[in-house]
Chain A
Amino acid sequence: MASKNLLLAKSKAHGKNIAINAVFYFLLISIGFVYLYPLLYMIITSLMTTEDLINPTIMWVPTRLDLSNFEMVWSVLEYPKSLVISIVFSVICAGLQTISCALMGYALARFPVPLKRLWMVLLIVVFIIPSDVLTIPRYVLFNSYNLIGSPLAMILPAALGQGLKSSIFVLIFMQSFASCPKSFDEAAQLDGAGRLRVFAKIALPMAVPVIVLCVIFSLVGYWNETAQTSMLVGSDFGTLPLQLQSFDSLFKNEFPTSFGDEANRLNERYQFSATLLVIAPLVIFYLFMQKQFVKGIESAGITGE
């Protein structure tokens, strides 16, 4: 009798669990839909022909498949060239930024550097200062060295640890190096390795997950950066987001249509296919690196203090 009651209670609890899980799934899926809505909307709109867009009865399903807009946008964006510029630019910046931040993080974690407190406070201050404040004087500075219009204007700050969100990367590196046992370093030093060698051969290999984290976030950051890049390097530098920023005028230059010709007029169809092409490399990158992105933040320990 008692065991039967227990069984009943158990199955009741089980049923309750299933119901709760169903609610959770419902919530997760509906939120997921809200997340993806702009993308779906964008994909579908970019597949619609201009007539479909004007036709109010067509909401979601295009009447016929027409991909000519992607071809047009491909050439307006000068896609292959822009893609290469984007990749080279963000890889250089991300690489240099990661190196400089790792050095700084190692210095703070391992050495009795004087004024450590001050540097920590400055890291936070640097993070908080809005980039708008720094852009104008940086412009004046680079202008006096004739570096405006050269990608160096973005690369140099990255190489010297003052790039996008550098402070966060420094703090992440610091925590990761501080959590490595010091005895490895000391053992290597006893074997006659110099400090730089210890850093390169012992500390860095142990921090590979953190390095990956910094590189990918920094890559995405520089890939998406337009505010400073357009100011310091110029909006014609030609990274994909910059091309997207000036897409409207680029499009009109390439397809100067008479007003009567509806087919080539700039509309959402072109805007969205351009946007899709611009985010496509990021999406692919994310699909391959999703684990590193999501796990990275959790394990990085930016979560405290």
Chain B
Amino acid sequence: MQKSKLTLKTKDALTGGAFMLPWLIGLLVFTMYPFFYSIWLSLCQVEFTPNGIATTFVGFKWYAEAFTADANFIKNMTSTMESIIFSTPMIVVAAVILALLLNRSLRGRAFFRVLYFFPVIIISGPVMSKLMGNDATTIVHPDQYAIYQVLEGLPELISTPLLYIFDNIVLILWYSGVQMLIILAGLQKIGDPIYEAASIDGAGAWEKFWKITLPYLRPMILVSAAYTIVDLSGMTTTKMHTHIVNNMMNTIKPYSYSSALSWLYALAVLIVLGIMFLILMERRPRRGK
């Protein structure tokens, strides 16, 4: 009895393995192997030979070179990371605001939801670069208004994000579609009873938002922020992407240098993700009381 049960279980596991097989092969061939090969390439000098490519180990040479010999790298990296770091909170906040607006039972709500999600469908690298390159995404030209001068006069810490919003309002909204729906689904899971209970205790709309809605939304906000960072960093319109692609066939250091660049970029994105998790993660002790 014991034995047959065991074999049944193993058989089940094996069948499960068979279902997993395509993914597993794919993981090994198209993800794991490239993953490690890319690390290896970034540490090597690559040369083209008639039999394919030859690699000689050079250590962290390319990584060092990126920082010391490539002025464009630092410039592109900073501007890409800056835009990710600025955009992510704004996109998530925009998604929360949009979700709150759409959560009210109004006539035509479905229409607006469809409208606000629409850009997600058409965003692609070439479309965005055509739009941005031809000025279609700047809805206001703030430099024409007096407020721009006022903003510019403020300390940089305040003025930079504000100006960034003005310049990128369309993009912030366009990139927030998926996040908006994630948060909206979260909002709809919060039941009415808890709001009613809070009302009875005398909480106003403002308090309800900060004390009930936001804490409930925390996991969805976390997911949205992670999605935003991954999504933004993968855009083909980022300067880092262009920089990596342009260096791929670099005649002196083909493959290797751009591999190193891509790892530096990946590392930077990971650090941003990590910081975001630290900021948004639930703080256990406080919750445990």
Contact indicator per residue, chain A 214-241, by CB within 8 Å of chain B (1) or not (0): 0000001001111100010000000001
Contact indicator per residue, chain A 240-284, by CB within 8 Å of chain B (1) or not (0): 011011010000000000000000000010011011001100110
CB atoms of A130 and B34 under 8 A apart? no
CB atoms of A32 and B266 under 8 A apart? no
Contact indicator per residue, chain B 243-270, by CB within 8 Å of chain A (1) or not (0): 0110010000001001100110110011
CB atoms of A24 and B124 under 8 A apart? no
B186 within 8 A of A: yes
B23 within 8 A of A: yes
B33 within 8 A of A: yes
Q: Which residue of A is nearest B37, CB measured? A: A137
What is the interface size of chain B, counting residues whose CB is below 8 A from a CB of the partner? 90
Chain B neighbourhood of A220, CB < 8 A: 120-121
Chain A neighbourhood of B269, CB < 8 A: 130
Chain A neighbourhood of B23, CB < 8 A: 100-101, 103-104, 107, 160-162, 170
Complex Cα distance, B9 from A199, in Å, reads: 18
Chain B neighbourhood of A224, CB < 8 A: 122-125, 127
Known: A283-B122, A304-B219. A160 touches B29 (CB 8 A): yes
User: Which among B27, B38, B124 has the highest number of chain A CB atoms within 10 Å?
Assistant: B124
Known: A294-B114, A303-B186. A157 touches B30 (CB 8 A): yes
Q: Of the candidates A128, A199, A241, which one forms a contact with B124 in the assembled complex, judged by CB atoms under 8 Å apart?
A: A241
Complex Cα distance, B112 from A27, in Å, reads: 11
Known: A28-B101, A156-B30, A298-B181. A134 touches B16 (CB 8 A): no
A71 within 8 A of B: no
B203 within 8 A of A: no
Chain A neighbourhood of B120, CB < 8 A: 220
Complex Cα distance, B111 from A36, in Å, reads: 13
Within residues 17 to 31 of chain A, which ones have a CB less than 8 A from any CB in chain B? 21, 24-25, 27-28, 31
Complex Cα distance, B101 from A220, in Å, reads: 27
CB atoms of A225 and B124 under 8 A apart? yes
Known: A130-B234, A242-B126. A103 touches B262 (CB 8 A): no
A207 within 8 A of B: no
Q: Of the candidates B19, B122, B170, B258, which one forms a contact with A103 in the assembled complex, judged by CB atoms under 8 Å apart?
A: B19
Chain B neighbourhood of A282, CB < 8 A: 121-122
What is the interface size of chain A, counting residues whose CB is below 8 A from a CB of the partner? 87
B66 within 8 A of A: no
Least distance between A83 CB and chain B CB atoms (Å) = 15
CB atoms of A160 and B22 under 8 A apart? yes
Q: Of the candidates B41, B106, B184, which one forms a contact with A25 in the assembled complex, judged by CB atoms under 8 Å apart?
A: B106
- The stretch of A4-12, A56-64, A110-118 in contact with B is A110-118
Least distance between B132 CB and chain A CB atoms (Å) = 9
Complex Cα distance, B177 from A294, in Å, reads: 10
CB atoms of A137 and B33 under 8 A apart? yes
Q: Which residue of B is nearest A113, CB measured? A: B16
Chain B neighbourhood of A67, CB < 8 A: none
Least distance between A76 CB and chain B CB atoms (Å) = 14
Complex Cα distance, B125 from A107, in Å, reads: 35
Complex Cα distance, B30 from A32, in Å, reads: 41
Known: A294-B113, A294-B181, A304-B219. A136 touches B13 (CB 8 A): no
Q: Of the candidates A41, A113, A134, which one forms a contact with B34 in the assembled complex, judged by CB atoms under 8 Å apart?
A: A134
Chain A neighbourhood of B110, CB < 8 A: 294
CB atoms of A278 and B19 under 8 A apart? no
CB atoms of B130 and A137 under 8 A apart? no
B150 within 8 A of A: no
Chain A neighbourhood of B200, CB < 8 A: none
Q: Of the candidates B15, B52, B184, which one forms a contact with A195 in the assembled complex, judged by CB atoms under 8 Å apart?
A: B15
Complex Cα distance, B270 from A303, in Å, reads: 22
CB atoms of B19 and A286 under 8 A apart? no
Q: Of the candidates B13, B53, B126, which one forms a contact with A226 in the assembled complex, judged by CB atoms under 8 Å apart?
A: B126
B185 within 8 A of A: yes
Known: A225-B124, A242-B126. A111 touches B27 (CB 8 A): no
Q: Which residue of A is nearest B178, CB measured? A: A297
Chain B neighbourhood of A103, CB < 8 A: 19-20, 22-23
CB atoms of B134 and A136 under 8 A apart? no
Chain B neighbourhood of A122, CB < 8 A: 27
Complex Cα distance, B127 from A21, in Å, reads: 35
A79 within 8 A of B: no
Q: Which residue of B is nearest A299, CB measured? A: B185
List 14 A–B pairs whose Cβ atoms lie within 8 Å, in order of A's numbering.
Answer: A21-B104, A21-B106, A28-B102, A103-B19, A104-B19, A131-B234, A133-B38, A133-B262, A133-B263, A157-B26, A157-B30, A225-B124, A278-B126, A294-B181
Besides the known contacts A24-B104, A227-B125, A303-B186, 7 further A-B residue pairs in the complex with CB atoms under 8 A apart: A126-B27, A128-B230, A130-B230, A132-B234, A161-B26, A227-B241, A272-B134
Please report B residues at the A interface, Cβ cutoff 8 Å.
Answer: 9, 12-13, 15-17, 19-20, 22-23, 25-27, 29-31, 33-35, 37-38, 41, 52-53, 98, 101-102, 104, 106, 108, 110, 112-127, 129-131, 133-137, 139, 169-170, 173-174, 178, 181-182, 184-186, 188-189, 219-220, 223, 230, 233-234, 236, 240-241, 244-245, 248, 255, 258-259, 262-263, 265-266, 269-270, 273
